[in-house]
Amino acid sequence: MQATDTQPAAPPPASPAPLADWLRLSLTPRVGLLTAHRLLTDFPSPGAIFAAGHGGLPDWLNAAQARALATATSGETADAVAAGLDAIHGWLQQPSRRVLALDDPDYPPALRATPDAPLLLYVHGRTELLARDALAMVGSRNASAQGASNATRLAEALSATGLVIVSGLALGIDAAAHEGGLRGEGGTVAVLGTGVDVIYPRRNAGLASRIAGQGCLVSEYPLGTVPRASNFPKRNRIISGLARAVLVVEAAAGSGSLITARLALAQGRDVYAIPGSIHATLAKGCHILIKEGARLVESADDVLAALAGQPPGVAGAAPDDSFVDPLLAALGDDPATPALLALRRGLDLPAVQNQLLALELAGLVERLPGGMFQRCGR
Give residue-wise pLDDT tens across range 160-217: 999 999 999 999 999 999 999 999 999 999 999 999 999 999 999 999 999 999 999 9
Q: Which amino acid is located at 168 in the chain?
A: G
pLDDT of residue 106: 96
> Which of 89-98, 102-111, 227-236, 367-376 has the least mean pLDDT?
367-376
Compute the average pLDDT of residues 295-305.
Answer: 93
Q: Is the pLDDT of residue 221 over 80?
A: yes
pLDDT band (50, 70, 90) for residue 59: very high
Which among 212, 185, 308, 290 is positioned nearest to 247, based on CA atoms?
Answer: 290
Which among 20, 26, 66, 79 is positioned nearest to 369, based on CA atoms?
Answer: 26
Helix axes 33-42, 19-27, angle to 10 degrees: 130
Burial (0-12, 13-18, 19+ Cβ within 10 Å), 89: exposed
CA distance 330 to 327: 5
Q: Is the pLDDT of residue 13 over 80?
A: no
pLDDT band (50, 70, 90) for residue 260: confident
Which among 262, 250, 360 is positioned nearest to 352, based on CA atoms?
Answer: 360
Do residues 178 and 129 make contact, with C-beta atoms less than 8 angstroms apart? Answer: no
Distances in Å between the Cα of 330 and the Cα atoms of 195, 229, 374 are 32, 22, 11
Compute the average pLDDT of residues 226-233.
Answer: 89
Give me the domains of the chain, ranges plus CATH numbers: 19-94 (no CATH), 127-307 (3.40.50.450), 324-375 (1.10.10.10)
More confident residue, 312 or 110: 110
pLDDT of residue 140: 92
DSSP 297: -
Chain centroid, CA 90 distance in Å: 26
Please state, as a whole number, how many other Cβ atoms lie within 10 Å of the Cβ of residue 372: 17
Do residues 207 and 178 make contact, with C-beta atoms less than 8 angstroms apart? Answer: yes
pLDDT band (50, 70, 90) for residue 318: very low
Q: Is the pLDDT of residue 317 over 50?
A: no
More confident residue, 287 or 266: 287
